[in-house]
Amino acid sequence: MARIPNINKWSKTLIIMLMISYNAIAQDTTPSAPPDTASVVDSAAQEPAAPKYVRFKMNVDSITQLVTYKAIVDQTETAADSFYLRAKRWANGKYQLAKNKKLILLDKPNEKLVLRARLACTPAGNQYSKQSNGFIVFNLTLIFKDEKYKYIIDNIIYEPEVDLLDKEAKKEPLDITPFEYYIQVKHKKRQTDAMLQGADIDIKKLLDEIKKSLENPKIPDEDDF
């Protein structure tokens, strides 16, 4: 008599194999976890922000609210009349006052000299090619006393350059702008600051020139030969 196979045993084996295959397929089809967005946000937050542009600052008088340069210079063994004569000599050489008397706003011998001075407007930013564009016009006040003097530069404006060959342009009033407007302007800040910084550099050079002109002459040492 032939032996009948054990059906229950084979059935159990088949069921186990099917369960193993199903688990393997389920693991392969399980969706992957989404990326850790928190770490991406954190890394982006750690990137340094672009630095905020800082405007160029000029000296503004707390009382007049005008852009101003002023100081008192002490210098021993110098009388007020000597300061005055040296200042007049410097101003005549710088601005040819004999031909441009309109530049003299006030002239009190040995006491005070006030000029309406000007400098070429040369925006900063290119040390190799400084292109002039109009003029910086201002009041230059020099007050003299024995062994000290005071300088003040204020009422500074920008004056555009006029084409002397353009007759129509010469008839129109100049579009002058005070520096107090430029330090508060909200547009073209970098371009405006380049002009202000160039003016600041040139005004300080002018003041150094005045100080040097008003110094006492150096007396050579007789023993130095």
Task: Give 55-65 pLDDT, tens digit per residue.
Answer: 999 999 999 99
Tell me the C-alpha distance between 225 and 222, whole Å.
7
Lowest mean pLDDT among 87-91, 94-98, 211-215, 220-224: 220-224
> Is 225 contained in some domain?
no
Minimal CA–CA distance to 205: which of 106, 126, 149, 136?
136
* pLDDT tens by residue, 168-197: 544 444 568 999 999 999 888 999 999 999
- Whether 149 has a pLDDT exceeding 50, the answer reads yes
> Is 29 contained in some domain?
no
Q: What is the mean pLDDT of the chain?
A: 82
Tell me the C-alpha distance between 33 and 18, whole Å.
27
> Is 37 contained in some domain?
no
Greater confidence (104 vs 124) lies with 104
> Is 57 contained in some domain?
no
Exposed/middle/buried for 67, CB within 10 Å: 0-12, 13-18, 19+? buried
What letter would DSSP give residue 77?
Answer: T
What CATH number is attached to the domain comprising 160? 3.30.530.80
Residue 44 is predicted with a pLDDT of 54
> Is 221 contained in some domain?
no
What letter would DSSP give residue 61?
Answer: -
Q: What is the CA radius of gyration of the chain?
A: 40
Q: Domains in the chain: how many in total?
A: 1
* Domain, as residue range, for 122: 69-213
Find out whether 107 and 92 touch, Cβ atoms under 8 Å. Answer: no
Detail the DSSP E strand segments found in the chain.
Answer: 69-74, 104-108, 112-120, 135-145, 148-159, 177-178
pTM of the prediction? 0.72
Tell me the C-alpha distance between 144 and 113, whole Å.
9
> Is 8 contained in some domain?
no
> Is 30 contained in some domain?
no
Helix (H) or strand (E) holding 37: helix 37-45
Tell me the C-alpha distance between 179 and 158, whole Å.
7
CA 57 remoteness from chain centre: 7
What letter would DSSP give residue 60?
Answer: B
> Is 60 contained in some domain?
no
